[in-house]
């Protein structure tokens, strides 16, 4: 019988990992768990993030979105900004990338006060990567090969956390497409390839357009 409930929180997963490892928790587990702890508070913690920035309607280009302030001072838009999201797996770990869509085209270049841009300023270098889960690729392979119940629970937690953050984005943006493997699908690919995933096309290259 599992020692974790299906909807266990990060604190419960970490407690189980500490118990299973007799207090000797691997560094790679710490890296992933620390990243997930930051994601848990991405909208409430004081530090800035690209995810938090794009959800701030004060950064939006209201004329392009038929936007206005209502009687209570809240920004409303008649046209949702359009985005493409991309699950990206690389040497650093997992990243969620976003690209604004203008006239049906993905934009991956700086935009400063352009009339048809959904944002007043769009700087790919600082805004494209919404967040990162450090070392998730290596940790997922480790989990497939040698992981325990807590390791697998942490991978699942990462999946559910990312999906929740994508759902929050979908409430403010029109998500034209979500590209790439979800974390659950990525783990299934590791299983399908018997752990030999590092040289496959699942580990993606940057988008240049």
What is the structure's pLDDT at 192?
92
**Is 135 inside a domain boundary?**
yes
d(CA 72, CA 115): 26
pLDDT, tens only, 66-117 = 999 999 999 999 999 999 999 999 999 999 999 999 999 999 999 999 999 9
Q: Residue 61 domain-assigned?
A: yes
pLDDT tens-place string over residues 117-154: 999 999 999 999 999 999 999 999 999 999 999 999 99
Domain that holds residue 187: 10-192
Q: Which of 64, 60, 54 is nearest to 74 (CA)?
A: 60
Q: In the prediction, which pLDDT does 1 show?
A: 37
Give the separation between CA 1 and CA 35, rounded to whole angstroms.
29
- Mean pLDDT across 43-72: 91
Domain assignment present for residue 201? The answer is no
The count of domains in the chain is 1
Is 178 inside a domain boundary?
yes
199 lies in some domain: no
Residue 152 counted as domain residue: yes
Convert the pLDDT of each residue in 190-202 to its tens digit.
999 988 887 766 6
């Amino acid at each position: 019988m599992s020692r974790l409930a299906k909807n266990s929180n990060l604190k419960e997963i970490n407690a189980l990992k500490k118990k299973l490892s007799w207090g000797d928790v691997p560094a790679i587990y710490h890296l992933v768990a620390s990243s997930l702890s930051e994601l848990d508070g991405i909208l409430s913690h004081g530090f800035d993030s690209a995810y938090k920035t794009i959800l701030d309607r004060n950064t939006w280009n209201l004329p392009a979105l038929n936007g206005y302030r209502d009687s209570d001072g809240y920004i409303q838009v008649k046209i949702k900004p359009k985005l493409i999201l991309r699950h990206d797996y690389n040497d650093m770990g997992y990243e969620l990338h976003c690209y604004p869509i203008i006239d049906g085209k993905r934009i991956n270049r700086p935009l400063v006060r352009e009339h048809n841009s959904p944002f007043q300023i769009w700087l790919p270098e600082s805004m494209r990567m919404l967040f990162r889960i450090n070392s998730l690729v290596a940790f997922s392979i480790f989990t497939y090969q040698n992981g325990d119940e807590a390791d697998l629970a942490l991978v699942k937690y990462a999946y559910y956390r990312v999906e929740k953050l994508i759902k929050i984005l979908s409430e403010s943006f029109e998500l034209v497409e979500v590209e790439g493997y979800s974390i659950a699908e990525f783990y299934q690919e590791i299983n399908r390839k018997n752990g030999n995933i590092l040289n496959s096309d699942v580990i993606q290259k940057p988008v240049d357009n």
